[in-house]
Amino acid sequence: MATQTPKTPSAPVSSKAPFSPESLQFLNKLAQNNSRDWFKDHQDEYENNVRSPALRFIEQMQPGILAISSKLTAVPKKVGGSLMRPQRDSRFSKDKTPYKTNVGIQFRHFQGKDVHAPGLYVHIAPEGCFIAAGIWHPESKALNAIRMCIDENPNAYQKALQTLQNQGFIMDGDSLSRPPKGFDKTHPLLTELKRKDFIAVKNIDFEELCKPGAISFCAEQFQHCAPLMAYLCFALELDF
């Protein structure tokens, strides 16, 4: 397969910083007061310092995301868009606190219906922020398709990994302890084939998101992820 050549966004981006120190301050306070009553009493603070800035960030990122691929989505909606909901799903967790203490923003492939689709991601939390790209917890059929593609088309995958490594990204996520079924333990790309997640991650300082150039910074980081995204979509027979 051909390696994706990153494009340069042609649309102007806002010079206003999308986030402020108050965004992180709210998440810190939420971590100390994680209850429905407290959140309800501080709803306006959440709207002003977290949700509205996040939606503004998504809107400002649209040109940069579409410059990578017109098949990716940047939807600035309170519900059902690129901003992940603040409520936790605690049904199967011992931790019953109702709210996430982070902001998750995902620019998914339009053919994906949930967080398990290939996409670009921004994570904001008091304990650390990062930019990521790839696919998290793909179901077994998709996972096998990616592994088969790596086995049959290793060069483009390795080039994508090299591009990411050169820009400070690392591959992260869960992996098998043994070779996956059908692959030899001496396979030269065994480490990659054992992955259960294909996620490239780069830690960033929250201050980067509070600068006027935040949108350009994030768009540039995502451009480095384009070859990996193109490869995963190729493996899954998705348009890119």
pLDDT at 10 over 50: no
Enumerate the domain spans of the chain: 21-84+100-235
Per CATH, the number for 21-84+100-235 is 3.30.930.20
Q: Nearest to residue 235, comparing CAs of 162, 142, 140?
A: 142
How confident is the model at residue 89, as a pLDDT? 85
What is the distance between the alpha carbons of residues 159 and 137, in angstroms, rounded to a whole number?
A: 23
How confident is the model at residue 12, as a pLDDT? 43
pLDDT at 13 over 50: no
For residue range 194-235, what is the model confidence (pLDDT) as tens digits?
999 999 999 999 999 999 999 999 999 999 999 999 999 999
pTM here is: 0.90
For residue range 27-52, what is the model confidence (pLDDT) as tens digits?
999 999 999 999 999 999 999 999 99
pLDDT at 100 over 80: yes
Encode 223-235: b = buried (16+ Cβ within 10 Å), e = exposed: bbbbbbbbbbbbb
Instruction: Please indicate whether residue 162 or residue 90 has the higher confidence score (pLDDT).
Output: 162
- The answer to whether the CB of 188 falls within 8 A of the CB of 161 is no
